[in-house]
Amino acid sequence: MVKDKILVIGASGQIGVELTLALRKIYGNANVIASDLREQNPLLEGTGPYVSLDVMNKEMLHVQVIRQNVTQIYLLAAILSATGEKNPNLAWNLNMQGLLNVLDIAREEKLHKVYWPSSIAVFGPTSPKINCPQQTIIEPITVYGISKYAGEFWCNYYHQRWGVDIRSLRYPGLISYKSAPGGGTTDYAIEIFYEALENKKYECFLKEDTYLPMMYMPDAIKATIELMEAPAQNISIHTSYNISGMSFSPKEIADSVQHHIPDFKISYKPDYRQNIANSWPQSIDDSIARKDWNWQQDYDLKAMTADMLANMK
């Protein structure tokens, strides 16, 4: 059996750090190369190889893939929803060209597998709000959502036309404490923990009744690895799989935090991110992921809150 050599692009980010550490446990430290535009995250130091890399520089990326005998790429470099609205051109360029560079190299070098995440941001105001299905009306209103939806169809195209084995999940908002989030609309669900522990109060940029699909990072890492390890014949979705963990509002997560920190107070001052959140579904139907590769989450709001606070303290 050929041993896989994995390149993680965007390894210093919110998902990248935890995914790289999890992949190193499975494949061996030396077989998982972390890479990013910015410096290595301190949590990765001493755990395996790191290269400084810009996914927009296709030539350099190609050289690294050949030189390091890379057989799988996890592409995590992207601009997220809230930051994307501040600089739409930058978001479109990075989110699209970065993906196309990786797909081209995967085709030319016959890589075994590619992982690229999409998002619930593909959905728009005309999509169903509750239990939003895999296939439905998809009319995103953010540049981030547009880039993710276009990206999904590029993945499908490279699979259909050239047989590239590329797999993808439409992550909900991800909650974690190891590496800071990168500018998403769902980041309030992380900020609330830091502010509750430090100041016992938090001013939320979304309204109290804004329900959004969310997931705790250990579940996101588990889903990613399970999807990538599933037999190819089980994969029926070649755009990106709906995936679900939990769904809650700012008021509900505040109540959950108050259970542990009784004098914690929340207030609400919605900003431009409210409009983005209003355009997304409140919950997601992920029955195809459950059927195809037996997806099942471990964490609900209560379990996630307890684990976040225990680890952050």
| Minimal distance, residue 143 CB to ligand NAD, in Å | 12
Contact map string, positions 62 to 101, toward ligand SER, x by CB under 6 A: ------------------xx--------------------
Identify whether the C-beta of residue 304 lies closer than 8 Å to the C-beta of residue 175.
yes
Radius of gyration of the chain (CA): 19
Q: Tell which positions 186-205 bind ligand SER, by CB under 6 A.
A: 186
State yes or no: is 144 an active-site residue.
yes
Question: Residue 84 burial (CB < 10 Å; 0-12/13-18/19+)?
Answer: buried
DSSP 3-state assignment of 259? helix
What is the dihedral sign for C-alpha 185, 169, 120, 252?
Answer: negative
| Minimal distance, residue 184 CB to ligand SER, in Å | 3
Is residue 247 a contact point for ligand SER (CB under 6 A)?
no
Is residue 16 a contact point for ligand NAD (CB under 6 A)?
yes
Residues found in the chain? 313
Closest CA to 177 of 165, 187, 164: 187
Q: How many residues bind ligand SER (CB under 6 A)?
A: 10
Is residue 147 a contact point for ligand SER (CB under 6 A)?
no
Q: Tell which positions 29-88 bind ligand NAD, by CB under 6 A.
A: 36-38, 53-56, 76-78, 80
Is residue 213 a contact point for ligand NAD (CB under 6 A)?
no
Q: Out of ligand SER, ligand NAD, none, which partner does residue 85 contact, by CB within 5 to 8 A per kind?
A: none
| Minimal distance, residue 126 CB to ligand NAD, in Å | 20
DSSP 3-state assignment of 246? strand
Q: Out of ligand SER, ligand NAD, none, which partner does residue 250 contact, by CB within 5 to 8 A per kind?
A: none
Neighbours of 294 (CB within 10 A): 10
The first and second tokens of residue 213, run together, are 């699909």
The contacts of residue 50 (CB under 8 Å, 6+ apart) are 11, 33, 34, 35, 40, 44
Task: Tell me which residues are annotated as active site.
Answer: 144
Chain positions contacting ligand NAD, by CB under 6 A: 9-10, 12-16, 36-38, 53-56, 76-78, 80, 94, 117, 119, 171, 173-174, 181-182, 184, 186
